[in-house]
Amino acid sequence: MARPLLAVAAALMLLLFAAAGAHGFEIEEATVASIQLGFNNGSLTSVDLVRFYLDRIRGLNPLLRAVIEVNPGTVQQAARADAERRSSSSGKCGALHGVPVLLKDNIATRDTLNTTAGSFALLGSVARRDAGVVRRLRRAGAVVLGKANMDEWANFCSLAGTDGWSARGGQARNPYVLSASPCGSSTGSTIAAAASMAAVTLGTETDGSILCPASLNSVVGIKPTVGLTSRAGVVPITPRQDTIGPICRTVTDAVHVLDAIVGYDELDGAAMSAASKYIPHEDRWTKREEDRRS
């Protein structure tokens, strides 16, 4: 038992030294605002940031099981974001531009990533289009880092399900007390945020699946009003309660993510209409026109 513990301790020490590896910028627990400040003053690049989180995942994920799959194109996405920033006339971009985001494994992406809700039954399921919230994140310039572990089928496959366990991801573990419940079902997203394995993350909630794990893993989770964020492209439980929201280390970071993902999506029109008084009005027709052109 001593050798595995020593190996984990050594990995943690290496990660601590790596945290300051980007020209002296302290990446570990960096906020969205400090990341953008680093981008703008040249002390940080999106590629630096992505490589830090990939190293962090390699070091901690064997223990915490927060991440199911890493996006193989994430460094290339980050390099594009850096190039866009350099070519910008003002040199500044939006709050999430170049920022890596980790998505719960029931949120679809149009790339090489599987969308499986943690189940081997959907392994090989690569979506033909991004989920509505992912389209918005990409429009904001965010970098899709990968997919987070979760309760398999959002814990709706059994009355005796285990919090944070999926067939694909194994048993996710609370980073503060490994033997404590991490809660679910957005378990991997909350653990990744708490352990600085991603800058920001997304989860989903039907009945406590953002708020409970956020509480037990000491991070901030926001459960939006149903219909405020599009459920299109998300593995469903019930249209009456499903919603998608941010899970981050600070309230301000969660607000930045929520600002990016809120908006009308005609693929989830019924719920969006019900929540329309909370959705920025300029967005609806602009979004429809952009979708027609893409």
What is the set of active-site residues? 104, 185, 209
Look at residues 106, 71, 69 and name the one whose alpha carbon lies nearest to residue 233: 106
Cis peptide bond upstream of 185, omega within 30? yes
Coil, strand or helix at 3 = helix
pLDDT at 201: 99
In whole numbers, what is the pLDDT of the chain averaged over residues? 89
**Mean pLDDT of all residues in 244-257:** 99
For the structural domain made of 2-293, what CATH number should be given?
Answer: 3.90.1300.10
- pLDDT of residue 13 exceeding 60, the answer is no
For the chain, the domains span 2-293
Q: What pLDDT does 3 receive?
A: 54
pLDDT at 91: 60
- The Cα–Cα gap between 44 and 77 comes to 16
Average pLDDT in the 140-168 region? 93
Model confidence at 15, pLDDT cuts 50, 70, 90, reads low
The b-or-e profile of 272-290 (16+ CB within 10 A means b, else e) is beebeeebeeeebeebeee
Write out the DSSP string of 86-149.
HH-SSS---TTTT-EEEEETTB--SSS----TT-GGGTT---SS--HHHHHHHHTT-EEEEEE-
CA triplet 158, 162, 168: central angle to 5 degrees?
Answer: 90
pLDDT at position 248 is 99
Rounded to the nearest 5 percent, the helix, strand and coil shares of the chain are 45, 15, 45
Q: Which of 122-131, 217-226, 271-280 has the lowest mean pLDDT?
A: 271-280
> What's residue 291's pLDDT?
53
Distance of alpha carbon 249 from alpha carbon 30, whole angstroms: 9
pTM for the predicted model, two decimal places:
0.87
What would the pLDDT profile of 24-68 be if each residue is shown by its tens digit? 689 999 999 999 999 999 999 999 999 999 999 999 999 999 999
Helix, strand, or coil (residue 82): helix
Task: List all residues 6 or more positions away from 55 whose beta carbon is below 8 Å from its beta carbon.
Answer: 15, 18
pLDDT of residue 163: 94
| 285: pLDDT strictly greater than 50 | no
Confidence at 181, pLDDT banded by 50, 70, 90: very high
Examine the pLDDT at 14 and tell me if it is beyond 50.
no
Give Rg (Cα) of the chain: 18
What's residue 89's pLDDT? 72
Report d(CA 184, CA 104) in Å as an integer.
11
Average pLDDT estimate for 197-202: 98
Report the pLDDT value the prediction gives residue 82, as an integer from 0 to 100. Answer: 97
